[in-house]
Amino acid sequence: MKGGALKAGWLLMGFGWSGCCPLVPFREVRQSLPEREWVKVGDQQVHYLEWGKGGQPVLLIHGFGQSSRVFRRLGPLLAREGRVWAPDLSGFGWSERPRSADAYFPDGQVAMLGGFLEQWDGGMVDLVGHSYGADLALRFAATFPEKVRKVVLISPALQMGAGSHGLLKSAWIREAGYPVFRWWLEDPSRLRLMFERAYADPDLLDDETFFAYRSELLVEGLHDAYRGFGASLVDLETSRVGIESISQPVMILSGSADRIIPLEAVKSMAGEVPVKKLEGVGHVPPEEAPGEVAKQIRDFLHSKD
């Protein structure tokens, strides 16, 4: 997309759904998954995946429209050397959807991540943020510098917001558009086309993975998430946090075949930080090239930078 920005329409589409597709009650979600995959952060039940034990902990932050599932191959590789966590952000995965719009703003997501980490020993962590999660990783590092040792940005989306879609800055217009987005996503094939665009090789998005992501969107509270993220678009645009805003060492990884945030757009956002190119990889390196991504991350985390 132009300038590396995620278009606001693309952001909101992930939250519309047809009334023909019933939402799963959160109570059923909570009861269907193991107790070890849940932690309470404030009043919210947060779902997460965990791999490994001991060592320097790593917090993985997923991107927009996905969940901790995106790290299912990368997490175990990083866990060979220590503990790895991947929580589902508010509005995604199996985590409970808060009613308050504030939870879906960047500051709300960062606060949830901070509360998540407080459930453990409270020591320093390394952050790995993918796409929208890269923006949150920078914000977290800027907000809690004492908690972050190093930061890895993968396919970073650092220019999100309403942009030229000025009409989407109106709460009334956003709400009026909700049924349209629900209709747009009534047919799973339409959603699949959007997901496939993120992969250099669309065949990597197998049916099991696609329908798993789809199920994680069809959770009670979808409308609350739509409203919250819609309201957050202006905040995303006016409260950007650049790489220069943090003091921790940063590494950036970007796929050469990324059609969502092209490599050149990533380089333009990176400033003086070199961008490591992943040849032939699209917007989802944790799924498309987990081995290479894990190696790059391990080398960086072990370096003396």
**Neighbour tally for 152: CB within 10 Å:** 25
- The token pair that represents 122 in the structure block: 């409270």
Q: Does pLDDT of 14 surpass 80?
A: no
CATH of domain 2-302: 3.40.50.1820
For 249-292, what is each residue's pLDDT tens digit? 999 999 999 999 999 999 999 989 999 999 999 999 999 999 99
Phi, psi of 120 (to 5 degrees): -115, -145
Q: How far apart are the C-alpha atoms of 166 and 143, rounded to whole Å?
A: 29
C-alpha dist (Å) from residue 125 to 134, 226, 291: 15, 31, 21
214-229 burial, b if ≥16 CB within 10 A, otherwise e? bebbebbbbbbbbbbb
Question: 3-class SS at 251?
Answer: strand
- The token pair that represents 303 in the structure block: 């370096």
Q: What are the start-end ranges of the E strands in 88-160?
A: 125-130, 148-154
Task: Record the pTM.
Answer: 0.89
For 186-207, what is each residue's pLDDT tens digit? 678 888 999 999 999 999 999 9
> How would residue 9 be classed by pLDDT, with cut points 50, 70 and 90?
very low
% pLDDT > 70, the chain: 82
Question: In the prediction, which pLDDT does 229 show?
Answer: 87
For 38-92, what is each residue's pLDDT tens digit? 999 999 999 999 999 988 999 999 999 899 999 999 999 999 989 999 999 999 9
| CA angle (210, 211, 214) in 5-degree steps | 90
Contact 197, 260 (CB under 8 A): yes
The residues, ordered by sequence, that sit 6+ positions from 219 with a Cβ below 8 Å of its Cβ are: 23, 24, 26, 29, 94, 97
Contact 233, 11 (CB under 8 A): yes
Report, in angstroms and rounded to the nearest whole number, the Rg of the chain calculated over CA atoms.
18
Q: How far apart are the first and last CA of the chain?
A: 32
Average pLDDT over every residue of 99-120: 95
